[in-house]
Amino acid sequence: MVAPAVPELTEEILYESTDARTEVLAALRELGPPDLVQLIKQAPRNPGRQTGVYHHVTGVDASSSASLAAYINTLTYKETNQSTTKIVEGIYCCYNAFSRLDMRVHVTIPGSVDSYCIDERGEKRVASDELWLETYLCSVLRAYSYADDGSGETIRKIMGVRRFNPVTNTETEHRFLQAAEHLFFRGWQLGSDSVVQVPNNVSNHLTTGLLKYFHTTGRFASGINLFEKLRTRNVEVSSLLAKVLFMGNEEVQAVRVLHDSVKQSPMDYVMLDTQAKFLMGKAVNPKSSDLKKDRLRMALGCADRSTVAAPSEFGTWARLAEVYVAMEDWENALTTLNSCPMFTYQDKDAPIMPEPKEIHLPTLPETRLDEIDSEPESKYQEQVHPSLLNLRAAQYKGTFKQAYSILTEMTAKIGWDQLLKIRSNVFVMEEEYRSEKQPPQGEPSQRNASTDVLRGSPGPPTNGSEHADDEKSVNGESTAPTLVAENGVIGSSAEKSVEKPSHTVTPEEAKGGIEDAEATEEQLSRFNNKRLCERWLDSLFMVLYEDLRIYTIWRTEMAQYRAQQMQYKKSAEEWEILGSLADRLHHQTEAVEAYRACLSIRFSPKALSGILGDFEKEKNTRETVAAVIRLVTWQYRWYSEFSPELLLTIRTLIEDEGAVKLTPPPSAFTSLPKHQASDKFTMLEIKSLSQFNALKPTPLLIIDFYATWCGPCKQISPVFTRLSTQHSSSASVIFAQIDVDKAKDVAQLCGISAMPTFQFFRSGKKVDEVKGADVQQLTTKIGYYTGLVAKEGPVPTSTTGTKAGGGKPEDRKGPESLRGAIDIESGRLLGTTLLSSIRNIASPPPAGYALSSLSGPKILAYIPFTTTVIPSYLSFKIDTKTLSSAPSRITVGSNVPVIVKKVKNKDGSETETNDLDMESSIFKAENTQVFNVFSDEYVEGRVELKLKASKFGAGQGVSNLVVRIEKNLSGEEGTATKVGEVDIIGLKV
């Protein structure tokens, strides 16, 4: 695999990046920042002028100084002869979180390699083998810690970070697990996740990294062996062993391990929490309600005991709250959530660098997709409504994020109004507290404290911050900004359906009130069964209210627009925020809808990763693979070739579908020419003009003109060979080489003036060429032309065989347009406008659309032929300005029986009836094929859909086709589908 490009951030002053790293060493708390690579470049003709550049990297083998020096050495290989500067010096910095040292390797090119370490005081120390072992383990853990989850959030945090997979084979896995075993009981020194208060032997960054590795790779046997050995030294490790056994579906053995271990250590909160989580999972889809209650009852016992064992840990209380939610015991769930100890979120150690002089973020041709927009995100911030930018829940992390998730889960199950009622039953409300402190005057009003809106009361700060609530009320009217659609409809009426919660009394306020006035025993007795709500939980309710208010406005406006058959317009960034909002509130369908709308405007890794989860749940293999390809391409464009979440998705696909289904089978190579079908690939060598002329008519001929004395030719030759093996899976594509000194007549005929030169011939005509050892350009063009040939399908031979209808061999024709064979009079359309017709398919109009749906995206076209045909593929052409109206889901059926009747009316006229139906007709087809088309597949407004020969080319041929367009790229039910041209390519029988 080609390594990602190398980003470069230029220093104002030489070595300022390494100096800045040294200054912050004392402030590092956990695993440390990504590795720093600082390079010195100088012009060959001006040695006195040097430039310092740097970038960050994770996943590089840091087991020794030699491996780090080798990485710097690989960077010199990327420099070509045309480069104006050369790397003459490099420093690799890798943080050792165990000993709090920065390991450094100084490489002079050409010259020596010097390794040393810098402590927190900036002093040099000698690097020992033990320090290198610690450094290696930290580097692997950092690679997993700083890896992106596919959404791009981590990639955007730090500029110019190359990410590699730290464990690529069994040898590196063995080294990693050996280091982990050796240093396991020092893992607490590395710190832990933000939801863990006190790191211990089984809750720290080392164990988190190990579990993530086993979960991602599926190497459960290695994990079981590791933890079995460590368990003999400390029974606490049993919880980790059980988790890996659960991952590997060894549930019986895992339960036995936990049962035996809890007997030895009955108050180990991690083991109790593991038991509770397992029992909750078993209660999700039980065979009976009694079985569910029994399992949740056991989970409740484990979770309750874990809070006693670790009362200061957030995870134990959160698990207990989740059990209560599963049991639908809402009051106890809210009370338990209020008891959770909350911690300030501690983010990962990020590099603190001075402002770079210049920033160079290069791209590779493998990452170039039209849909990927590499412009800065600030472009889209200007299009976002302020009310969407101020949603504080999107910024929650750590304990607050988990607590908010539990609160939103309760809201999704019982509704906002019911949650407020339960809240008022559990906690002392502010209105209630004030009325008890002050003697009543006159008849008390009948008001419900759970839904009473306190006018003029500002919202509480979030997470204990000093920021007041963003919205205030004046005279009972909300002054908070409302969500306004681009079309101008204001959703102020919609927000009235969501009640703003009244405030509770916090412990601080209650304490202050007691100091002000001594309450009577009768007044205090009314609060005996209620609790004081923590300020952070009261703040969470206000934040949840704001989320629900915006969500309700959005859904109400969309319903109004659909009722009026109008398009609801938002910017891509707004759709992305709305999708994230719906996701937080556990409205998955609405989240996917918003993410699709975002993707119809521009590419968004966050939106696509959100939809990816939906694809996986639905077991939609094709769309899952397509989404993974796009996300991997985007990650690769930003120098990352390692994402554990995407690797897990691919591994799950292979387990579910099989590797054979996801990769080309060996039989795909049996149709190769003899010179390409051998076990060891041998490049075809063209030695004469006659041989060249014989190969020119090939659908695609790619020739490498080289010379044995040419240095760049030797450098790029392995690349050309590799590309040949990747793309030569069809007899329609031939790769060849020509030695210009041996075949001078061919080189002269082709106008070769420099080496290497790569020329592309299509059916005897030269269409393109690449001069020089340009790997990026060569890779891009080979991929483009081979893809073009693959879409056109195999070219039928003209040397043997006869047509199905008889005739001479030379009369055989290749695939052609079948528009002339369409029976215009018998064809029918459903769901289209009056201007749409079958005639528009047979003879495309000079302007406008051939097909346009009447309302909604669905169109059904019944296309009969005057003769039997064998269709090869369908072609759709659309207007790129209205890409959102292009078809995205298409079903094609063959040989559908259609009954057409003509009934005479009383006035003598005839009325036609037929049994065509938008939903049921396609199920009558002899064979069907479904296509899911993405926006990037419309190249210059055209997409070609290959029909399977096994379905449409077998038997006696096809007499008619039924094409049903089910969805368009907008993803909305109210958006019409518009198609400029439709063509059917194939053979007439």
Q: What is the pLDDT of residues 870-896, one digit of tens each?
A: 888 899 999 888 888 999 999 999 988
Copy the structure tokens of residue 981: 């041209």
Q: What are phi and psi of 43, to 5 degrees?
A: -75, 135
In the chain, % of residues over pLDDT 70: 82
Predicted local distance difference test score (pLDDT) of residue 704: 93
pLDDT tens, residue by residue, 928-937: 888 888 887 8
Of the given ranges (224-238, 461-475, 484-498, 962-976), which has the lowest mean pLDDT? 461-475
The contacts of residue 965 (CB under 8 Å, 6+ apart) are: 851, 853, 857, 858, 859, 860, 887, 889, 890, 977, 979
Question: What integer is the mean pLDDT of 177-196?
Answer: 94
Helix H segments across 480-620? 492-495, 507-516, 521-525, 535-563, 572-584, 588-599, 605-617
Could you tell me which residue, 694 or 923, shows the higher pLDDT?
A: 923
Residue with tokens 């370490």: 117
| Residue 734, beta-bridge partner list | 701
Say whether pLDDT at 457 is over 70. no
Could you tell me which residue, 398 or 512, shows the higher pLDDT?
A: 398
Residue 598 a catalytic site member: no
Question: What integer is the mean pLDDT of 348-354?
Answer: 89
| 113-118 and 86-96 strand pairing | unpaired
Copy the structure tokens of residue 908: 């003598």
Phi-psi label, residue 884: left if phi above 0, alpha if psi -120 to 50, beta otherwise: alpha
> pTM of the prediction?
0.64
Say whether pLDDT at 974 is over 50. yes
Copy the structure tokens of residue 80: 């070509």
pLDDT tens, residue by residue, 530-551: 888 899 999 999 999 999 999 9
Distance (Å, rounded) from C-alpha 755 to C-alpha 769?
Answer: 12
Could you tell me which residue, 108 or 791, shows the higher pLDDT?
A: 108
DSSP state of 318: H
Copy the structure tokens of residue 522: 């009768």
CA proximity to 261, closest of 202, 312, 214? 202
Q: What are phi and psi of 14, to 5 degrees?
A: -55, 135
Q: Where are the beta strands (DSSP E) in 763-858?
A: 765-771, 816-817, 828-830, 851-852
pLDDT category, 212, cuts 50, 70, 90? very high
pLDDT tens, residue by residue, 718-748: 888 878 877 765 567 888 999 988 888 888 8
What is the full DSSP assignment across 245-272? HHHTT-HHHHHHHHHHHHHH-TT-HHHH
- Could you tell me if 734 and 684 are in contact, meaning their C-beta atoms sit under 8 angstroms apart? yes
Residues 676-689 as b/e (b if ≥16 CB within 10 A, e otherwise) read: beeeeeebbebeee
What is the full DSSP assignment across 711-756? HHHHHHHHHHHHHHHHH--STTEEEEEEETTT-HHHHHHTT--SSS
- Could you tell me if 876 and 931 are in contact, meaning their C-beta atoms sit under 8 angstroms apart? no
DSSP state of 341: P
Say whether pLDDT at 696 is over 50. yes
Distance (Å, rounded) from C-alpha 287 to C-alpha 720?
Answer: 59
Instruction: From residue 730, give the alpha-carbon distance in Å to each of 660, 734, 767, 788, 792.
Output: 19, 8, 19, 12, 12
Distance (Å, rounded) from C-alpha 686 to C-alpha 690?
Answer: 9
Could you tell me which residue, 25 or 468, shows the higher pLDDT?
A: 25
Q: Indicate the residue type of 655.
A: E
Residue with tokens 């003598």: 908
Instruction: From residue 168, give the alpha-carbon distance in Å to each of 73, 213, 840.
Output: 20, 12, 55
DSSP state of 832: B
pLDDT category, 21, cuts 50, 70, 90? very high
Distance (Å, rounded) from C-alpha 660 to C-alpha 759?
Answer: 34
- Could you tell me if 101 and 117 are in contact, meaning their C-beta atoms sit under 8 angstroms apart? yes
Copy the structure tokens of residue 378: 């600030």
User: Omega into 110 within 30° of 0, i.e. cis?
Assistant: yes
Residue 710 a catalytic site member: yes
Question: What integer is the mean pLDDT of 39-61?
Answer: 89
Q: What is the SS3 assignment for 487?
A: coil
Say whether pLDDT at 73 is over 80. yes
pLDDT tens, residue by residue, 624-664: 988 998 899 888 888 999 999 999 999 998 888 877 667 64
Predicted local distance difference test score (pLDDT) of residue 482: 47
Predicted local distance difference test score (pLDDT) of residue 684: 82
pLDDT category, 234, cuts 50, 70, 90? very high
- Could you tell me if 21 and 351 are in contact, meaning their C-beta atoms sit under 8 angstroms apart? yes
pLDDT category, 43, cuts 50, 70, 90? confident
Distance (Å, rounded) from C-alpha 614 to C-alpha 404?
Answer: 22
Predicted local distance difference test score (pLDDT) of residue 693: 80
pLDDT tens, residue by residue, 291-338: 999 999 999 999 999 999 999 999 999 999 999 999 999 999 999 999
In the chain, % of residues over pLDDT 90: 44
Copy the structure tokens of residue 953: 């080319």
What is the full DSSP assignment across 88-130? EEEEEEEEETTTTEEEEEEEESSS-EEEEEE-TTS-EE---HH
The contacts of residue 757 (CB under 8 Å, 6+ apart) are: 705, 769, 770, 771
Q: Indicate the residue type of 70.
A: A
Predicted local distance difference test score (pLDDT) of residue 494: 54
pLDDT category, 674, cuts 50, 70, 90? very low
The mean predicted confidence, pLDDT, of the chain is 82
Could you tell me which residue, 199 or 48, shows the higher pLDDT?
A: 199
Helix H segments across 184-288? 205-217, 220-231, 238-247, 251-264, 269-282
Helix or strand run (H / E) with residue 42: strand 35-43
The contacts of residue 722 (CB under 8 Å, 6+ apart) are: none
Question: What integer is the mean pLDDT of 378-383?
Answer: 54
Predicted local distance difference test score (pLDDT) of residue 497: 63
pLDDT category, 84, cuts 50, 70, 90? confident
Could you tell me which residue, 460 or 822, shows the higher pLDDT?
A: 822
- Could you tell me if 958 and 865 are in contact, meaning their C-beta atoms sit under 8 angstroms apart? yes
pLDDT category, 667, cuts 50, 70, 90? very low
- Could you tell me if 188 and 97 are in contact, meaning their C-beta atoms sit under 8 angstroms apart? no
Catalytic pick from 93, 533, 598, 713? 713
pLDDT tens, residue by residue, 420-444: 999 999 988 776 666 665 555 544 4
Q: Is the dihedral of CA 516, 518, 523, 526 positive or negative?
A: positive
- Could you tell me if 95 and 81 are in contact, meaning their C-beta atoms sit under 8 angstroms apart? no
| 684-685 and 477-478 strand pairing | unpaired
Residues 902-914 as b/e (b if ≥16 CB within 10 A, e otherwise) read: eeeeeeeeeeeee
- Could you tell me if 8 and 364 are in contact, meaning their C-beta atoms sit under 8 angstroms apart? no
Question: What integer is the mean pLDDT of 403-419?
Answer: 95
Q: Indicate the residue type of 133.
A: L
| Residue 515 buriedness (CB in 10 A; 0-12 / 13-18 / 19+) | exposed
